[in-house]
Amino acid sequence: MPTARETLLDTARTALDTLPWSAVRMVDVAARARVSRQTLYNEFGSKEGLARALVRREADHYLRGVEAALARPGPPAHRLAAAAEWTVAAAAARPLTRALLTGTWDDRLPAPRAARRGGRAPVVPEQRRADAGVPTPAELLAQATDRAAALAEHGAAPDACELALRLALSYVVTAAPAAPAGVPRHRPAPGQWAEPDSCRPMTPTITRLIETILSVDTTSPRKIIP
């Protein structure tokens, strides 16, 4: 059973399907989650605190997806390609993930400011972590790369982990998903927060290219990337 905190975060995220963050009201979030406003403020402190928690959870969701892709059976190149495919799929389906990966924040999304230093620390441990700050795209990429580092023990080149994710990130930046008919590009379509049905939104050619690049020992002067 989800906790009150998770229910509030889910409610705030759902509100973004139809409203810009500036129009999401704390009183409405509490009412739709069927909790008191006092519970909402106890958990997050303020609307900025709610925004930080929402974005922090989105970063954690992305990293868990990377971990799941890397845990699949198969050679390291296939597993790294799966992590790259997950990166593109998550960015296409989840606007906050895309903003975290690219650093481009739509005016409809929460772009939380850092918590004020010197203030009273939140009582809720999860909120203290959220208030510590949202990762930058470089920091998020580094965290994902760290999770793939173990594959170096199974034959992957040390730089291959970062290379796979950088290739995926370049695809995210240059191949933004087309908006559905009748929905402005800047406005999230209802339901797009759902999990992607497939982790293969990239063309087979691009996926094969990633696997080919990752299978090459780039540390050897006798081998070159095709």
Q: Give the model confidence (pLDDT) of 158-214 as tens digits.
A: 577 788 888 888 888 875 544 444 444 444 444 455 555 444 556 666 667 777 766
Would residue 8 count as lying in a domain? yes
The range of the structural domain enclosing residue 63 comes to: 4-214
Q: Report how far residue 23's alpha carbon sits from residue 12's, in angstroms, rounded to the nearest whole number.
A: 11
Which is higher by pLDDT, 141 or 201?
A: 141
Q: Are 180 and 191 in contact (CB under 8 A)?
A: no
DSSP conformation letters of 60-79: HHHHHHHHHHHTSSS-HHHH
At which residue do the structure tokens 């970063």 appear? 59
Would residue 222 count as lying in a domain? no
- pLDDT category at 134 given cuts 50, 70, 90 is confident
Would residue 113 count as lying in a domain? yes
Would residue 26 count as lying in a domain? yes
At which residue do the structure tokens 């690219």 appear? 102
Would residue 122 count as lying in a domain? yes
pLDDT digits (tens, 9 = 90+) for 48-59: 999 999 999 999
Task: Please give the structure tokens belonging to residue 133.
Answer: 């700050």
Would residue 108 count as lying in a domain? yes
| CATH number of the structural domain spanning residue 41 | 1.10.357.10
Count of structural domains within the chain:
1
pLDDT averaged over the chain?
A: 80
Q: What is the pLDDT of residue 190?
A: 47
- pLDDT category at 113 given cuts 50, 70, 90 is confident
Would residue 198 count as lying in a domain? yes
